[in-house]
Amino acid sequence: MLDALTPEEMLTNIGIEFNELRETKGKVYAWKNYQKRLMQFFGKLSALMSPKDITELCMKIEENVKTEGGGNETPLEECRKFLEGPEIKPKVGRPEKVH
C-alpha cells in the first residue's frame, strides 16, 4: 500500500499509476485519479512539495480535465448528449411538400 512508502516512493508510484491508467482508461480518468492521490496523501507529500503547490497543481488538473472533457459538462452529461444524437431543428419558412 502507498501509506508505508516514503514521500519520494509514493510520488513515483502515483506517477507510475498515472501512466498505466492513461494507457488503459484514458487521459481524463488518469488525471482525476492523480488529483485524487495528491489529495489523499497531501500530508505525506507535503514533505516534498509545499501545501500551496499541491493545491495549485490540483486546481490546474481540474482546469485541464474540464478542457479535455469538453467544458463544464460531466462525462455522464456528454454521454447523454451523444446518445440522444444531434438536435434536429425545424426549418423556418415554407413548409415542406409532402408527397
Instruction: For residue range 42-84, list pLDDT tens digits in order.
Output: 999 999 999 999 999 989 988 888 776 555 566 666 666 666 7
Residue 75 structural domain: 2-83
Q: What pLDDT is attached to residue 40?
A: 92
DSSP designation for 46: T
Q: Is the pLDDT of residue 93 over 70?
A: no
Q: State residue 98's pLDDT score.
A: 63
Q: Is residue 61 part of a domain?
A: yes
**Residue at 93 is within a domain:** no
Best CA proximity match to 2, nearest among 36, 51, 50, 27:
36
The total number of structural domains in the chain stands at 1
Asked if the structure places residue 40 within a domain, the reply is yes
> Is residue 91, in this structure, part of any structural domain at all?
no
